[in-house]
Each structure stands twice: as structure tokens, then as C-alpha cells.
Amino acid sequence: MNKIYCLLFFIVSAGFSACNLNTVADNTQSVSENNWMYNNPAKVQFEIADTLKTYAVKFNLRHTVDYRYSNLFVLMTVNGKDVNKKIRYELKLATQTGEWLGKGSGDIYFKEFTLLKDFPFKHKGPYTITIEQNMRDNPLVGISDVGVQVVKN
């Protein structure tokens, strides 16, 4: 009976935490065999209805201890009626001493990065954001999940 209550508590908690009214789009995808390929970017498509607000664009990453580097280079592309923007980011995943940043559980670590903080979408309508890995390795070993989130400020 305790297992049923624990499961019910987990489901209800997850439901409440996912209900952020300011979230415009949120898409996370698993990476096959923890090998992130160039041609498998994180991608989200969404509609902007409120052009008076600004938005934050976040990149969510889950990696294993098999990831060989302390950083990650990504290319973010924002496409829409009024914008065609491509930006390269270097994201820090570990300290100089090799300690992983972010939240960890076992051999999996999660880190959220805000790539754009107060971004204005000037026109209503559809937009697409893609984030692709931009490292020399292809596939990039040790990346288990990637996601893009757009949040109204």
C-alpha cells in the first residue's frame, strides 16, 4: 500500500511542478545510446501570441560521467518571421578540478542553462529554436537528454 501512495505522490508532484503558466514551449528528447550526433539537434516549435513580453530561452542537459569534457559548445538557431539568429555558446559543465556542476544522482547530472534572458519576439506567429552540439566529436559520447524551453518573463 505504501508503494501506491508513493507513486501517487510522485505523479501529483510532477503534475504540479510541470504546470508553469509562463512556459510557452518545453521539449526534451532522449539521445540514442547517449551519443549526441550533429544531425540530431534539440528542437522546439511554438507560437508567440504576446509580443509585449520578453522571453527566456533555456537549454536543459542531462549527461553521464562518461562525458569526457568540462565544457560543451552548442549552436542555437532562432527562426521566425522577424528573426534568423545563430549564436555559439560555451557551456561549463565542470570546475577546473573536475567536479561536475549541476544536480547529480548516481552517474547522471542535470544542468539548465539560460541562453537568452530577455529576448523580444516582435511578431506574433510560429518560431523554431534548435540547439545542436558543436564539438569536434561526432557522436558526442555521454549526453543522455537535451531540451529547449521558452518561458515568458
Residue 5: pLDDT band (50, 70, 90) is very low
| Cβ-based neighbour number of residue 39 at 10 Å | 6
Which pTM value belongs to this model? 0.85
Plot region of 33 (φ>0 → left; ψ -120 to 50 → alpha; else → beta): left
User: What's the mean pLDDT in 127-146?
Assistant: 98
- With a cut of 90, say whether residue 142 has pLDDT above it: yes
CA distance 151 to 114: 10
Residue type, 35: N
CA distance 8 to 61: 27
What per-residue confidence (pLDDT) applies to 119? 96
Contact 68, 142 (CB under 8 A): yes
Q: Report CA-CA distances (Å) from 6 to 10, 11, 18, 64, 100.
A: 6, 9, 18, 27, 30
Residue 13: pLDDT band (50, 70, 90) is very low
Residue 94: pLDDT band (50, 70, 90) is very high
| Cβ-based neighbour number of residue 21 at 10 Å | 5
CA distance 141 to 14: 29
Contact 71, 91 (CB under 8 A): yes
